[in-house]
Amino acid sequence: MDQEGVASRIKEKFSESILDASTFRGEITLRLRADDILAVCRFLHDDPELGFNYLTDLCGVDHNPREPRFEVVYHLCAMKTRSRLRLKVSLAGQAPHVSSVVSVWKGADWLEREAFDMLGIAFDGHPDLRRILLTPDWQGHPLRKDYPLKG
Amino acid sequence: MAKPETMIINMGPQHPSTHGVLRVVLELDGEVVIKATPDIGFLHRGLEKLAESKTYHQCITLTDRLDYVAGMSNNLAYVLTVEKLLGLGVPPRAQAIRVLLCELQRIASHLFWLGTHAHDIGAMTPLFYALRERDEILFLFERVCGSRLTPAYFRVGGLAQDLPDGFAEKCREFIGTFPSHVDEYETLLTKNKIWMRRTQGVGAILADEAISWGLSGPILRASNVKWDLRKVMPYSGYEAYDFIIPTGKNGDVYDRYLVRLMEMRQSSEIVRQVLDKMPGGEVLADDPRVVYPPKAKVGESIEALIHHFHIASEGFAAPKGEVYTGIESPKGELGFYLISDGSNKPWRFRVRPPSFMNLSALSTMVQGRLIADVVAIIGSIDIVLAEVDR
């Protein structure tokens, strides 16, 4: 299914959710309203025609000093149609948080913990949101652009 | 009667069977695992942050040090992603050599896995044989790029240089005898009653759950999911070669063993086909903005010298945008997600680590099993902590 197909299928159900759609180097990126991410993901996963049953990756991005500062990027894959899709949500710089999608794909568990650890993005509804790579008493979030490269 | 208490013991991070610095906190009822909680991050080096301050070319050596048992594959995934970002094509000879080296790398990675995994379970003999063959491959790599484990041989746009003279003959020598060596390993393990008792039915994960956890590579295929990026989303010319994708039925440790053994045989076959079909021609794209001039010219021509200096110091600017590319590394889907802000350094350098995703399902796989099974299961996932932690 091409970009128009996927986007229009989401628009049928979530008309207000897609803020932007683009293609670059053959890859489709949809920017969604942050509040709708869980519902859209569940739809993409459950819908038999779209069938995005595989969460390839989930990561955070810091665009400091641009606002909205943070982004969470989801890379999905539909194994039946062998297609990929990128979803993005933008989050404000102060106390960024978004719904966890762990109820849709179990693999989101550790991925969201890493985004929390490295960028300080909170995932509402995550069963065990704590640091994963750094020690529990670590201060700060290293992948943020205002975190120094060296000590 | 008093309720039996559970015991919490610590496995790792120093442990011969965790294959690196992995800590697993085990809550046990006798020898049965009630809950296993992996604790990772002991090998976290901040690679993704480091890459943000390096040019695209400089990042290549960072990628060597991800899955250090499969350096060529990491390099390939990264340069393919940068090439996609740039919209840069790679000459056919470079593509073929990349496939050749990555398949040799797959064999080397699986051999190392085989030896150490068998050793963990108590079968100490296969290690010696597996490492003997792997050493042959590492000698081949040394001929090609001077290094055994950290190749940094691929470049954005092709290869650092062509294959050395005599490489093809040595390579054919290796794959000529390799299938008979795999037969040897099989005589030690495949029908071995102890091996079968320790691995069959252990740590099974079914297809739907495996997909939900985002597993990839041999562990996913052992759970009867026929998904291999070399076939379903081919890259670097893999479409031209004939090979099968082995799958397992039960998704247990034994099936993962069988899948990897078969993959070694298939990789050997792919290497033979690449050697037979190897095209001639250039090994670097013709794009002076991105690619170094030939070294011989650098000493003779001032333009070449300036060109070399410019690329070495400043690198090249990538167009603004973002791309993701995933390849089938020996561990699973290894992907790079790069965001470019139009400058010569990546804004975001995200590694999609197959070992990380595969390890996250550990707690599910060991539930209700014995401690001895924990060792077998961790080995069967085939993780490299450098990739898990980055």
DSSP string, B127-153: HHHHHHHHHHHHHHHHHHHS-SS----
Nearest to B321 among A24, A56, A135 (CB): A24
Handedness of CA B42, B367, A104, B359 (dihedral sign): positive
**Cβ A1 vs Cβ A51: under 8 Å:** no
Q: What is the pLDDT of residues A77-110, one digit of tens each?
A: 999 889 999 999 999 878 899 999 999 999 999 9
Q: CA B36 → CA A12, A57, B8, B208, B374, distances in Å?
A: 43, 24, 10, 21, 9
The DSSP 8-state label assigned to residue B238 in this structure reads: G
Euclidean distance between CA atoms B371 and B259, whole angstroms: 24
For A133, the closest of B209, B357, B389 (CB atoms) is B389
Cβ proximity of A37 and A98 under 8 Å = yes
- Cβ(B368)–Cβ(B356) under 8 Å? no
Asked if residue A38 is part of any domain, the answer here is: yes
CB atoms B41 and A82 under 8 Å: no
Please enumerate in sequence order all residues whose Cβ is within 8 A of that of B96, keeping only pairs 6 or more positions apart, or say none.
B237, B274, B277, B278, B279
B13: preceding bond cis by omega (within 30 degrees): yes
Inter-chain touch B335–A143, beta carbons under 8 Å = no
Does A132 reside within a domain? no
pLDDT at A7 over 80: no
The verdict on a CB contact (< 8 Å) between B337 and A59 is yes
Which structural domains are found in chain B, ordered by start?
Answer: 45-358+372-389 (1.10.645.10)
Give the integer Cα–Cα distance in Å for B276 and B254: 34
Q: Exposure pattern of B100-130 as b/e (b: 16+ CB <10 Å)?
A: bbbbbbbbbbbbbbbbbbbbbbebeebbebb
Site of tokens 């590694």: B351
Here the tokens at position B286 are 């013709």
* List of chain A residues whose C-beta atoms are within 8 Å of the C-beta of residue B53: 149
Q: Indicate whether A1 pLDDT > 60.
A: no
- Rg for chain A (alpha carbons), in Å? 16
> Is the predicted ipTM greater than 0.90, yes or no?
yes
pLDDT in tens, B41-83: 999 999 999 999 999 999 999 999 999 999 999 999 999 999 9
Whether A140 maps to a domain, the answer reads: no
The answer to whether the Cβ–Cβ distance between B352 and A82 falls below 8 Å is: no
Residue B8: helix, strand or coil by DSSP?
strand
Nearest CA to A59 out of A129, A120, A112 is that of A112
The residue of B245, B322, B387 whose CB has the most chain A CBs within 10 angstroms, and thus the best one to mutate to test that interface, is B322
Please give the pLDDT value at position A10: 81
Residue in chain A closest to B226 (alpha carbons) equals A79
Rounded to the nearest angstrom, the minimum Cα separation between B41 and chain A is: 4
Q: Which helix (H) or strand (E) holds B159?
A: strand B158-159
Q: How many whole angstroms separate alpha carbon A8 and alpha carbon B344?
A: 36
Q: How far is A143 from chain B (nearest CA, A)?
A: 6
Q: Up-side HSE of residue B220: CA atoms within 13 Å toward CB? A: 27
- pLDDT given for residue B325 in this prediction: 95
On the 0-12 / 13-18 / 19+ scale of CB atoms within 10 A, B143 is middle
Residue at A103 is within a domain: yes
- Helical spans, DSSP H, in chain B: 47-51, 59-64, 71-86, 92-121, 125-145, 167-189, 193-199, 207-212, 218-222, 229-232, 253-277, 295-298, 302-313, 354-360, 362-366, 371-381, 385-389
Strands (E), A17-112: 18-24, 27-32, 54-62, 70-78, 83-91, 97-99
Handedness of CA A138, A143, A145, A151 (dihedral sign): positive
**B58 contacts in chain A (CB < 8 Å):** none
Answer yes or no: do B324 and A56 touch at CB < 8 A.
yes
CB B129, CB B112: distance < 8 Å: no
Instruction: Give me the residue from B41, B323, B350 closest to A25, CB to CB.
Output: B323
Which of A 53-72 lie inside 8 A of B, CB atoms?
53-57, 59, 61
**Tally of domains within chain A:** 1
In the numeric block, the tokens 């350098």 are attached to B349
Residues of A in contact with B84 (CB under 8 A): 25
The distance of A14 to chain B (nearest Cα, Å) reads: 24
And the tokens for B227? 């998904």
- Inter-residue contact B229 to B333 (CB < 8 Å): yes
Rounded Cα–Cα distance for residues B356 and A8 (Å): 34
Given A107, A133, A142, which is nearest B214 (Cβ)? A107
CATH code, A23: 3.30.460.80
- Contact A42/B at CB under 8 A: no
Task: Print pLDDT tens along chain B (390 aa).
Answer: 445 788 999 998 888 888 888 999 999 998 899 999 999 999 999 999 999 999 999 999 999 999 999 999 999 999 999 999 999 999 999 999 999 999 999 999 999 999 999 999 999 999 999 999 999 999 999 999 999 999 999 999 999 999 999 999 999 999 999 999 999 999 999 999 999 999 999 999 999 999 999 999 999 999 999 999 999 999 999 999 999 999 999 999 999 999 999 999 999 999 999 999 999 998 999 888 889 888 888 889 999 899 999 998 988 999 999 999 999 999 999 999 999 999 999 999 999 999 999 999 999 999 999 999 999 999 999 999 999 999
Q: What is the DSSP letter of B284?
A: B
- Cβ contacts of B214 on chain A, cutoff 8 Å: 54-56, 105-107, 111
Task: Tell me the whole-structure pTM to 2 decimals.
Answer: 0.93
Answer whether residue A13 is part of any domain. Answer: yes
Matching residue, tokens 């062998």? A82
Instruction: Let me know if residue A44 belongs to a domain.
Output: yes
Residue type, A99: S
Domain that holds residue A13: 3-124
Query: How many Å lie between the alpha carbon of B92 and the closest alpha carbon of chain A?
Result: 20
Residue B351: beta bridge partners?
B336
Nearest to B213 among A25, A59, A106 (CB): A106
